[in-house]
Structure 1
Amino acid sequence: MKKVLIVLTNVTRYQGTNDPTGLWLGEATEFAETIQEAGIGVDYVSPKGGFVPLDPRSMKYTNESIMKFYETADFQKRALTNSLRPNEINPDDYLAIYYTGGHGVMWDFPNDRSLQQIALSIYDNGGYVTSVCHGVAGLLNIKDDAGRYLIAGKSITGFTTAEEIIAGKKSVVPFLNKQAVEKRGGKFKKKRAYKEYAIQDDRLITGQNPFSPRAVARLLLENVR
């Protein structure tokens, strides 16, 4: 059976600052756990491969299921220590790609051509391109063979401007997700700040915030089971 490819960041700091960032832990663990409970395997990839840092703020917003998954040897080894490099990935092995969040992704996801090509290949094979929260950054610059943005004309969600303000990060992020999506012809959708919300448009599935990874996973499973 094909697997789901989970994309993680290698960025350790907000660019231009000393403030640490990285993967938002629950956005990886809750999605992966839901997918694996359905009998589908996952692999982990990052732009550089290898070490994946954790956003320390995400450790304040854990629950028992997040911590149990985080403590497994499989997650610590395959996700946080030895994530795959893009050149180790065969897109034919995957039914979907899922971009996790954490503010770090805003710097290493948008312009990674290798990841873009993997995502486009999965999509062209009839698979799904999915994201949660800031992971929408990975979708922004994917273009089809005609040079059209994949998100153009599609309903997309991600971490909102209101949520950036509440998080105190509006002044340090390199772009705002709503503006970036709309600039590429996407239709940005949102609900209340920090409430679970995920939407599907064709074979694009996106979630708004850290409370939405399981909702993204459930939508994906509705399509592939």
Structure 2
Amino acid sequence: MVVTNNPKFKKIQRATGIWLKEASHFNKVMADNGIDVDYVSPQGGYVPIDPLSLGTDDMDATDWEYYLDDTFRNEHLAKSLKPADVDPQDYQVIYFVGGHGSMTDFTENTELAAIAEKIYANDGVVAANCVGVCGLLPMRTADGNRFVHGRKLTGFTNDEEALNGLTNDVEFLLEDELSKAGASFVKGTAFEPNIVVDDRLITGQNPNSATGVGEAIIKELLQ
């Protein structure tokens, strides 16, 4: 599970980080299926949670379970691994967790991209959700092409960014950047679950898609 270290928007005075639901709900699907997870971030160490994802209207039982869990808070988020700590041979899946923090430290991170490229080359699954899909942008295929070129995928849409009121405040619009990179962007209804599977690439559109991404991964692993 790839998570951001970035606690603040670049253009505006506003806190960010991971969106809790995208970590907690995905992690729960893995745990319920007996799959161990590790957390890695661009710098290692502390991982901030976007405070808006902790609103009482957004928090369900799974979110509270993880938010109050000592291992989640004191190990996974406080002591996340650095890319150099990760041997891609040890993992069947890599999952880029969303939250606007990731737009700053995933988009050009070739270390994380290299881990994902190796996992995919070893017949593993590359997955990403919401804004975390920006982690696919620096990935390349063996012949040097953009990994997302010609692939069906989804991610946080321009419509959803507009509904958030952040169109002019984010680093870029993810839907536009993925389309420019040659991806076939599959847009669903705003803030409704939307999961797109293209071979061993599995993406979700928004925070409410995290459970579905996890379930699609389990289905892929059982084939």
Query: TM-score normalised to the size of structure 1?
Result: 0.96
Of residues 30, 35, 39, the one that matches 1:40 is: 35
Match of 1:218 in 2: 215
Distance 2:34 2:16 in 1: 31
- In structure 1, the partner of 2:135 is 138
Residue number among 197, 202, 216 corresponding to 2:199 in the alignment:
202
User: Structure 2 matches for 1:16-55, cutoff 5 A?
Assistant: 16-55=11-50
Cα deviation code 1:15-62 (max 9, x no counterpart):
032211011001001000111100111000000000001101100111
Give the deviation of 1:113 after TM superposition.
1.1
8 A contact 2:128–2:202 mirrored in 1: yes
Please tell me whether the aligned partners of residues 11 and 170 of structure 2 are also in contact (alpha carbons under 8 angstroms). no
Rounded Cα–Cα distance in structure 1 between residues aligned with 2:141 and 2:62: 37
TM-fit CA distance, 1:74: 1.2
What corresponds to 2:7 in structure 1? 12
For the pair 1:63 / 2:60, whether they are aligned, the reply is: yes
1:115 paired with 2:115, answer no
**Which residue of 122, 127, 131 maps to 1:125?**
122
Work out the CA distance in 2 between the residues paired with 1:76 and 1:24.
14
Return the alpha-carbon distance in structure 2 between the equivalents of residues 162 and 182 of structure 1.
Answer: 15
Structure 2: 5+ residue runs without aligned partners? Answer: none
- Provide the aligned C-alpha RMSD in A: 0.8
Structure with more strand by fraction: 1
Identity %: 39
Number of aligned residue pairs? 220
Secondary structure of 2:38's counterpart equals strand
Distance in 2, matches of 1:128 and 1:183, equals 23
What is the 5 A alignment of 1:92-171?
Answer: 92-171=89-168
Paired residues of 2:83 and 2:112 also in contact (CA < 8 A): yes
Deviations 1:142-191 (A, max 9, x none): 00121111111111100000100111111111111111111111000011
| Counterpart code for 2:9 | Y
State the Cα deviation string for residues 74-107 of structure 1 (Å, max 9, x = none): 1112221000000000000100100001101001
Q: Which runs of 4+ in 1 moved over 2 A?
A: none
Name the aligned partner's letter for residue 166 of structure 2: K
Equivalent in the alignment of 2:77: 80
- Asked if the contact 2:21–2:207 (Cα under 8 Å) also holds between the matched residues in 1, the reply is yes
Is 1:182 matched with 2:179?
A: yes
Which amino acid in 1 is paired with 2:68?
Answer: E
